[in-house]
Structure 1
């Protein structure tokens, strides 16, 4: 942990040019900066109590510019990641074996990346669920069906359980303006990811139920401290994007969620049948895990699983098919709310 914080402090604190006119060479994966951190310190690094280690900073100019574009203040960023007791490890690693760390202010998450040998790679990303409202249900949605369900029994599902496609029991109904924005953004993101040969990404969705009774009706258990503030309410004004400064696409969005039920007497449905039972909720969502390209390992995984299962049901498919399936699923799970407020 100390090594991680030393490296971040050094990389972020280093002075460098910030320009929007980046050359293509700046995006080359070979564009990286090596720094050695001996315990006794060096001309460029401070002394420390850990072991001798090397730090590699990928495409530093690109990420420095990205932080500038997204108005990430360098001092606040370093304080979040490198302050005293700033990082806490989440209780369990992901299915991939990656470990996750969260900053004390919940703004950033660190995920370790798979790497052969003993080196550790990691990525720092914003926490989608950094909010004054508790997240009561969270879903990781890909649009595939094979293995896309939680292994927990219903009675053990709580607000910290990440549910998957076949666990989804809602259709999220967005008002017209937001639904059009949602469609536009998802289409643009998928086109970009397909062009970059990326697949295996997910739509991470966090749901806050405004009414305590609704939380109980959805099953599972919830923390008694269910809300840290008063939730935004649905009203006619919500159709105006300037009505609430805090509300934006994918963040703090008050919408209606319609409960769905899957029929058990037919082939498994990836989206259940709507029941007409509605809940007022606040949504947080965004596309995550955007670093997996369709490499030889994914092609082999696709070939191997295709012998055993329906090829359209598995997660590992080529980027074009993945993007098409992802969009088809997401636009069924998120629909325009025809209800006239």
Structure 2
């Protein structure tokens, strides 16, 4: 339409990295409809999984842990003040051993060779990545007194963040999502298996306000399930639930 003002928001590719993204999750902190609809044998490293597919908790160093949750607090406060809800934390996980642990949930079946995938990623990101960065774990960073000689920061919020992925179950991460009532105050319990990983993440889908369509969606779905389990809720409740859930996924080193 002539004279109509149109605004665009352009976001960078969160997963533009020389590291292979083995797992990717779209996390909201809700449970209704929050499970991948693909069969296990169809699930690969390009599949975007959801809250109920998650079977890891991520341990990180205390400074990174504090920085992450403070940033989440600020972002959620801003989105809440603008009446925004239904956003997600998109999380990409690179396993440093380049071996994806098999599980009932999100078993990887590769249709592209590692060499082809790596070449495609480097080609897509050539404007922003000029040389590989080492894949360092949280333990490696502990041993290094000075990172300043590297061309890029080794760990920065949202990109190339080292952590330990601990195998767990959704009932340990959050009883609310696994069928319990309300949120637990407990922390995730380790399932025994742990892997050095590099994390990439950021908040996406930040343009949905709590308008009449979302209010109607909330009313309709509330007739079918627990109202607090659905994605379409008041921005204040959404913000609190989102932060509570992230507090159970991203935990600090003991």
> TM over 0.5, yes or no?
yes
1:243–1:195 CA distance, 2 compared to 1 (3 A): farther
**Which of the numbers 68, 72, 87 marks the counterpart of 1:201?**
87
Partner deviation per Cα, 1:111-144 (whole Å, 9 max, x = no partner): xxxxxxxxxxx64211100111111110000000
**Which of the numbers 224, 237, 247 marks the counterpart of 2:113?**
224
User: What's the CA shift for 1:232?
Assistant: 1.9
Residue 247 in structure 1 maps to residue 136 in structure 2: no
1:281–1:200 CA distance, 2 compared to 1 (3 A): same
1:243–1:149 CA distance, 2 compared to 1 (3 A): farther
Question: Which residue in 2 is equivalent to 1:151?
Answer: 37
Matches within 5 A, 1:289-308: 289-308=205-224
In the aligned structure 2, how far is the partner of 1:318 from the partner of 1:267? 18
**Bigger Rg, which one:** 1
1:310–1:168 CA distance, 2 compared to 1 (3 A): same
In the aligned structure 2, how far is the partner of 1:238 from the partner of 1:146? 44
Residue 279 in structure 1 maps to residue 195 in structure 2: yes
User: What's the CA shift for 1:231?
Assistant: 4.1
What count of residue pairs does the alignment treat as equivalent?
Answer: 222
1:185–1:171 CA distance, 2 compared to 1 (3 A): same
Normalising by the residue count of structure 2, what TM-score does the alignment of the two structures yield? 0.78
In the aligned structure 2, how far is the partner of 1:130 from the partner of 1:225? 16
In the aligned structure 1, how far is the partner of 2:221 from the partner of 2:212? 14
Matches within 5 A, 1:61-210: 123-210=9-96
- Which protein is richer in strand relative to its size? 1
1:143–1:130 CA distance, 2 compared to 1 (3 A): same
SS in 1 for 2:135: coil
Question: Which residue in 2 is equivalent to 1:257?
Answer: 165
In the aligned structure 2, how far is the partner of 1:296 from the partner of 1:306? 15
User: What's the CA shift for 1:237?
Assistant: 4.6
In the aligned structure 1, how far is the partner of 2:190 from the partner of 2:154? 30
Structure 1 residues not aligned, in runs of 5+: 1-33, 37-53, 59-121
Segment of structure 1 superposing worse, 252-261 or 135-144? 252-261
With a CA cutoff of 8 Å and minimum separation of 6, indicate the structure with the bigger relative contact order: 2
Partner deviation per Cα, 1:77-120 (whole Å, 9 max, x = no partner): xxxxxxxxxxxxxxxxxxxxxxxxxxxxxxxxxxxxxxxxxxxx
1:199–1:207 CA distance, 2 compared to 1 (3 A): same
SS in 2 for 1:205: strand
User: What's the CA shift for 1:300?
Assistant: 0.8
1:310–1:249 CA distance, 2 compared to 1 (3 A): same
In the aligned structure 2, how far is the partner of 1:337 from the partner of 1:142? 24
SS in 1 for 2:229: coil
In the aligned structure 2, how far is the partner of 1:267 from the partner of 1:331? 13
> Is the contact between residue 171 and residue 257 of structure 1 (CA under 8 Å) also seen in structure 2?
yes
Moved over 6 A (4+): 238-241
RMSD: 2.8
